[in-house]
Every structure is written in structure tokens, then in C-alpha cells.
Amino acid sequence: MLHTIAAFDRLGEENAFAVLARATALASQGRDIINLGIGQPDFATPPHIVEAAIKALRDGHHGYTPATGILPLREAVARDLHRRFSVDVSPDRVMIVPGGKVTMFMAILMFGELGVEILYPDPGFPIYRSMIEFTGATPIPVPIREANGFAFSAQETLSLITPRARLLILNSPANPTGGVTPKAEIDALVAGLERHPDVAVMSDEIYASMTYDGEAHVSLLSYPSIRERLIHLDGASKSYAMTGWRLGWSVWPQKLFDLARKLAVNAHSCVNAATQWAGIAALEGPQDCVKKMVEEFDKRRHVVIDGLNRLSGVSCIKPKGAFYAFPNITRSGWKAKPLASALLEEAGVAVIGGPDFGVHGEGYLRLSYANSTENILKAIERMGEFLAHRKAA
Ligand code: PLP
């Protein structure tokens, strides 16, 4: 008998991977499946980034690097943050990690334990809650509401902070809603956090480069009053179409940086060296590849939202960021998970049910528009046919 710790009974998952597996299985049986389920750009990594990795391997970068990452990449991250948000970040606070997820894993491990509370967005990226529960901490969902344009509310967030709260997780632009929280709301939140000096903040800004309608991304790094308790999460997965490379980075308060380094030494030693050199090419190279990708997402955003709003029983507000639409399906009579499952099995369209992102996701589906316009239109047509003819289960 193997006796693993009880915490594993509380460890969750990301259902998007299960949907991807099912969609792939159906496709391999010959079914025509359109995948709007998975959250990764459908673009190839720009060639100059790929070339930089190949060159690094040819140049002999085959060994371990420092656990915190190679210095030129940490410096490139600091320069990039200055270029985009006019903030000064010292490279010695920048940690290179294998993907955005690793930063949240580390941050939640640092603060979570029995008796403490961690606040996180709901609906939100499922790993937040999963990891909070794993540590034994109490997850406190901060509702993210359609009526608020899927932005978080400063007032509601602050009202949920108790003396047991240790960490507050924020995410804008957001998965799964595409919501972008306006600057005024972030200002109000940061001002209110002065009353809670013991609460750390983890700001997940992995979609920072993907905002639309002229909405500028507001980084939490721009607020000096919380800098010494802010963990900034970002990475190359989304902005440079590098999900499979596993490259992320984070900025840590001085007090936490060495803990993150030690966790890296215990877990993964370092990010693979060639990927780190590719990261330098991504951050220091031409940025028109990012701009082009975001422009393409923007075009598709209009297509998907207009299409969804034409379906009976469905309405969808226009998200201002990321590459997700989060349509409200309550008027269709369906619950979200059975609808997502029936759409995949019967209509060949993979989407994710809102409850996979938290209890406040009921009544919604998540569609990733990281797919061609042609496929998006075909998927919407199939959804329309399905909803017109198939009664709610
Ligand atoms: N944070 C959010 C909000 C995400 O949506 C994702 C990926 O979907 C991540 C973090 C993780 O990114 P990575 O693939 O770099 O680990």
C-alpha cells in the first residue's frame, strides 16, 4: 500500500487539457472537430526566436544555468518592463521559471497553510484554487461579474479581506472571461490595500500584451506602495506563441526572491538553456510579431462575438483582452457543462464549461478564439444548428 498525503485529494486540474484529449481522440476516430477549447495561440513561434534557440544549442549552451535564470535574460525582462510600463525593476528581482504556472505554484506554496485565506478570481484560472486547496489554505473566491464587464471590483475584493488573508491573486486581462480591469478600479484596490499591509498580491499578467479597443494594460508593478509585497507573473507562452517552450518570468519582493530561488533548486534546477536564449530574442527582437498576432486576434474577436450574439439563448459582451469569449448561455435552458459536453460529442465543437473556472462560471461557456476565422465561423454555425434543434439535457 502506498500512502500519499491527503493534500493530493484536494489537488485539482485544468479541464481544458481533458477537453483537448477528448477532442483529439474524437478527431483520431475521423470526426471533424473544431477546437475552441485550449488556451494557446494558433500561431507558430516567430522564426527569429526559433533560430536563437537553435543557435544557442549550436553554440554549446547545453548545461545547467543559474536557478534564477541567465543574467542577460533577467536583464532583458527588466528592460522590457521598463519599455512597456515605464517601471524600474532590478534584474536581481527577476526570476526565470518554466512557464507562468510555476510562479503561481511557488507563490501559493509560500503563503498557503491551514487557517489562512487566499483570495482568487472566480471564474478564474483553475490552478489558483487547486493549489490553494492543496496547501490547506481556505480559498476565498472573488466573484468576477458580467455586469462589471468581467473586471474585478475593488470594493468587493477589499470587502472579502479578513485578518486571516495572506495572499490576493489578481488577473487582468483575464482567463476565462477576457475581462480587463480599468485603471480607476486598480487604483482604488491598491489604495484600499494600504489598510491590509500583511496581504501579499500576486498579479497574473500573462495576457498583458493582448488588450483591444485602445485599452492600455495597467501593470500592478506601477504601484510603488505595494512593490514590496507584489509578485508579478508573466511569461512568453501567450505573447510570443511559446506555450510548449515553457518559459515564464516573475518579479519578486526582496524578501521572497530567495525562497523562489530555493524552490527552483529543489524542483527544476533551471529553465532549459536554449529556451532562455530564445527568450532574449523574443524580448529584445522586433515586436511586430506580437502586434500582428494581437491584430489578428482582434479581428477574430469581432467575428466570434457577433456570431455568438446571433445565436438564440446566447449573449456575449465584447471582451477587452486575452483571446477568450465568455458567452452567457442561461437563456438557452442548458447548464454549462452538459452543453459543453454535448457540443463536443454531437456538434464537434470543443469549448469549456464555465464551472471549470469556478462556481461563478455557471451559465457561461469559454471559447478560445485562437483558431482561424473560417473555423470560428463554422463552429458558430454548428452551435446555432445545435441550439436550434437540441433540447437542453
Ligand atoms: N495564467 C493564466 C491566467 C493562464 O491562462 C495561463 C495559461 O493558460 C497561465 C497563467 C499559465 O501559463 P503557462 O502556460 O506559461 O504556464
Q: How far away, in angstroms, is 298 Cα from ligand 1 center?
A: 20
Each residue's pLDDT tens digit in the chain (393 positions)?
899 999 999 999 888 889 999 999 999 999 999 999 988 899 999 999 999 999 999 999 999 999 999 999 999 999 999 999 999 999 999 999 999 999 999 999 999 999 999 999 999 999 999 999 999 999 999 999 999 999 999 999 999 999 999 999 999 999 999 999 999 999 999 999 999 999 999 999 999 999 999 989 999 999 999 999 999 999 999 999 999 999 999 999 999 999 999 999 999 999 999 999 999 999 999 999 999 999 999 999 999 999 999 999 999 999 999 999 999 999 999 999 999 999 999 999 999 999 999 999 999 999 999 999 999 999 999 999 999 998 887
Strand-pair partners of 96: 249
Rounded distance, CA 298 to CA 173, Å?
14
Number of residues that make up the chain:
393
Who lines ligand 1 at CB under 6 A? Answer: 39, 99-101, 125, 171, 175, 204, 206, 235, 237, 243, 248
Substitution site in 19, 97, 101 for ligand 1 pocket (most atoms within 8 Å of beta carbon): 101
Q: How far away, in angstroms, is 387 Cα from ligand 1 center?
A: 31
Residue closest via CA to ligand 1's atom 5 equals 175
Substitution site in 96, 152, 238 for ligand 1 pocket (most atoms within 8 Å of beta carbon): 238
Q: How far away, in angstroms, is 100 Cα from ligand 1 center?
A: 5
CATH class of 6-44+288-387: alpha beta
Domain with CATH 3.90.1150.10 in the chain: 6-44+288-387
Q: How far away, in angstroms, is 244 Cα from ligand 1 center?
A: 12
Chosen CATH of 61-284 out of 3.30.110.30, 3.40.640.10, 3.30.565.10, 4.10.320.10 = 3.40.640.10
Domain with CATH 3.40.640.10 in the chain: 61-284
Strand blocks (E) in the chain:
34-35, 94-97, 117-122, 138-143, 165-171, 200-204, 230-235, 248-251, 324-325, 349-350, 352-353, 365-368
Supply the DSSP symbol for 344: I
Q: Which of 212, 208, 199, 295 is nearest to 248 (CA)?
A: 208
Which uninterrupted H or E stretch holds 62? none
Q: How far away, in angstroms, is 328 Cα from ligand 1 center?
A: 23
Substitution site in 13, 14, 20, 125 for ligand 1 pocket (most atoms within 8 Å of beta carbon): 125
Q: How far away, in angstroms, is 362 Cα from ligand 1 center?
A: 21
Q: What is the pTM of this model?
A: 0.97
- Nearest atom in ligand 1 to 40's CA: 8
- Nearest atom in ligand 1 to 243's CA: 14
Burial bucket for residue 115 (CB in 10 Å: 0-12, 13-18, 19+): exposed
Q: How far away, in angstroms, is 206 Cα from ligand 1 center?
A: 6
Q: How far away, in angstroms, is 126 Cα from ligand 1 center?
A: 10
Q: How far away, in angstroms, is 3 Cα from ligand 1 center?
A: 31
- Nearest atom in ligand 1 to 16's CA: 8
- Nearest atom in ligand 1 to 176's CA: 5
Q: How far away, in angstroms, is 30 Cα from ligand 1 center?
A: 30
pLDDT score of 16: 86
- Nearest atom in ligand 1 to 104's CA: 10
Q: Which of 222, 210, 242, 261 is nearest to 92 (CA)?
A: 261
First to last CA, the chain: 41
